[in-house]
Amino acid sequence: MRAFFASLATFFANNNRSWIAQILTGAGLGLASMAAFGVFLDYYKNLALSNLGNLGAVAGLLGIGGVDKSISIVLGAYFASLYIKQFAAGLRVIKK
């Protein structure tokens, strides 16, 4: 998977000579990957929360305690950190 993204980055770097084209390409790739990643994350988050309902009477107590929201927050933070480590690590500062 990493080789795919490396070849994709090389392809876009070779075909985008101007800095504005590189910025727009990076923004487009970022939006597309976050949209796809968001669908993946929402599916598994909803699956986990729906399976939490199979607990019966305990589910009411867990709902009052806010366990569903805490699971959502923890998973969102975890996947955001993974995204930052994997995809945003290659960002660089443009200096004039």
Full domain range(s) for residue 57: 2-90
With 0.75 as the threshold, say if the pTM is over it: no
The Cα 13–Cα 38 span in angstroms is: 26
pLDDT of amino acid 89: 66
> 77 vs 34, 40, 45, 60, 70, CA distance in Å?
14, 15, 13, 25, 11
Query: Is 95 part of a structural domain of the chain?
Result: no
Residue 28 placed within a domain: yes
- 96 belongs to a structural domain: no
The pLDDT value recorded for residue 94 is: 67
Instruction: Examine the pLDDT at 93 and tell me if it is beyond 70.
Output: no
Number of domains composing the chain: 1
Give the DSSP per-residue string, 18-74.
Answer: SHHHHHHHHHHHHHHHHHHHHHHHHHHHHHHHHHHGGGTHHHHHHHHHTHHHHHHHH
Q: What mean pLDDT is predicted for residues 55-69?
A: 76
